[in-house]
Amino acid sequence: MQKSLAEQIFQCFKGNPHFTLREAYKANDDKPHETVRARIYDNLGVKFERLTKGIYKTIEGTEACIIMEGDGRDLSMIRDASIDCILTDHPWLDMKSNKGGDRAFAEYDCFRYSLEDFKEKARVLKEGCFLVEVLPAENENNYEYLYQLKQYAKECGLLYYSKVAWKKGNFVSNTGRKSKNTQDIMIFSKGKARSMRLDVKRTKNTGIEHFMSGTNGMLPTFFDVSPVERKYRIHQSELPLTLCEQVLNYVTYKGEVVLDSFAGSGVVGEASLNLHRNCILIELLKENVDKIKKRLSKNFIYNVVLEC
C-alpha cells in the first residue's frame, strides 16, 4: 500500500500540538518544498489546520469504520434512508471481454446485479444522496448489461446523474477490439440530487452562500489516476486511494456515512476516514476482512460478523 504524501505528512505529525512548514520539509527531504507545501494547502480543512503563518496542526477526527464480514447484497441490517453515499465496485466477471492475453480473472465471488440489489441500495440511501458504481467501460459484450443496470436504478428512483471515466494514467490494456485504459464511474442520485454545488453568481450577488442541485463542484471530464502498482496492492482489484478520495469529495460532506458493500481491500474505508467520513464496509471473504482490519488498524474499527 502506497500512502499519499499528504497522508505521510499527516501520520508524521499526528498527535503533535503543531508543526511548522520547515519541519514538514525536513521530514520529506526527498520531495521539493513546493510539493510538500502544496499537499498541505490542498488538505487544509481536511487533514490540516493552519494555526498561523507557517504553523499547522493535524485534524484528528472521531470518525469510525464498521467492517462486516458477510453478504453485501443483504443490507437488511441497515436502516432505511440512513446512508449518505454508496461507493462500490461491482464484483462482476466478464470472461468474454477479458479473454486472451495474460488477463487475470477475478479470484473472488462474482455475480450480476438484480433489480433487488438496486431496491436495497435505494432503500438505505438518504433522499438526494449519491450512489456511485465503479463499472467496466462499455464494450460489445457488456453494453446490454450496463444499460440494464441503469434501468434497474431508474425503477428504484435512482436517477442517472452522470458518468465520468476513470482514466488509468498511462496504463493501457490491449485485449479485445480496442486498447483501453478506462473504467466508468457511474453516479446516480436518489430522487433529485441534493444541493452541494455552490451557486457562485448568486452567492456573489447576495453575499450569502447559495447552492444548486448537484455534486460538490462540477464533475471533471475524467478522473486521471494511475492504478495501484502491483507491489503495493493487497487486493487483485484494488482501487487507488486518491480516486476514492476524489470521488468522495464530490458527493459527501465531513461526518457523513459512506457504504461500500463489496469492500475488497477496504480502500473506500481508508478514503472515508482520511476525509473525516464514517464508513460501513461489507466483505464476503474473511481473508480480505483481515487485510482491511490491518489496513485500518490505526483508526476506530468495529468488527461484525454477519450470519449469511
Ligand X SMILES: C[S@@+](CC[C@H](N)C(=O)[O-])C[C@H]1O[C@@H](n2cnc3c(N)ncnc32)[C@H](O)[C@@H]1O
* Residue ranges binding ligand X (CB under 6 A): 71-73, 89, 91, 108-109, 235, 237-239, 262, 264-265, 267, 282-285, 288
- Of 36 and 268, CB closest to ligand X: 268
- Of 108 and 211, CB closest to ligand X: 108
- Of 123 and 194, CB closest to ligand X: 123
Q: How far is the CB of 27 from ligand X (least distance, A)?
A: 29
- Of 136 and 214, CB closest to ligand X: 136
- Of 24 and 245, CB closest to ligand X: 245
- DSSP β-bridge partners for residue 195: 214
DSSP collapsed to 3 states, the chain: CCCCHHHHHHHHHCCCCCEEHHHHHHHCCCCCHHHHHHHHHHCECCCEEEEECCEEEECCCCCEEEEEECCCCCCCCCCCCCEEEEEEECCCCCCCCCCCCCCCCCCCCCCCCCHHHHHHHHHHEEEEEEEEEEEECCCCCCHHHHHHHHHHHHHCCEEEEEEEEEECCCCCECCCCCCECEEEEEEEEECCCCECEECHHHHHHHCCCCEECECCCCCCCEEECCCCCHHHCCCCCCCCHHHHHHHHHHHCCCCCEEEECCCCCCHHHHHHHHCCCEEEEEECCHHHHHHHHHHCCCCEEEEEECCC
Q: How far is the CB of 118 from ligand X (least distance, A)?
A: 15
User: Whose CA is closest to 196, among 126, 272, 278?
Assistant: 126
Query: Is there a contact between 121 and 167 (Cβ–Cβ < 8 Å)?
Result: no
Q: How far is the CB of 120 from ligand X (least distance, A)?
A: 12
- Of 125 and 282, CB closest to ligand X: 282
Q: How far is the CB of 3 from ligand X (least distance, A)?
A: 16
Q: How far is the CB of 4 from ligand X (least distance, A)?
A: 15
User: Whose CA is closest to 289, among 229, 234, 249?
Assistant: 234
Q: How far is the CB of 241 from ligand X (least distance, A)?
A: 9
User: Whose CA is closest to 282, among 260, 265, 256?
Assistant: 260
- Of 25 and 108, CB closest to ligand X: 108
- Of 24 and 257, CB closest to ligand X: 257
Q: How far is the CB of 199 from ligand X (least distance, A)?
A: 34
- DSSP β-bridge partners for residue 130: 85, 189
Q: Which residue sits closest to ligand X, CB atoms considered?
A: 264
Q: How far is the CB of 105 from ligand X (least distance, A)?
A: 12
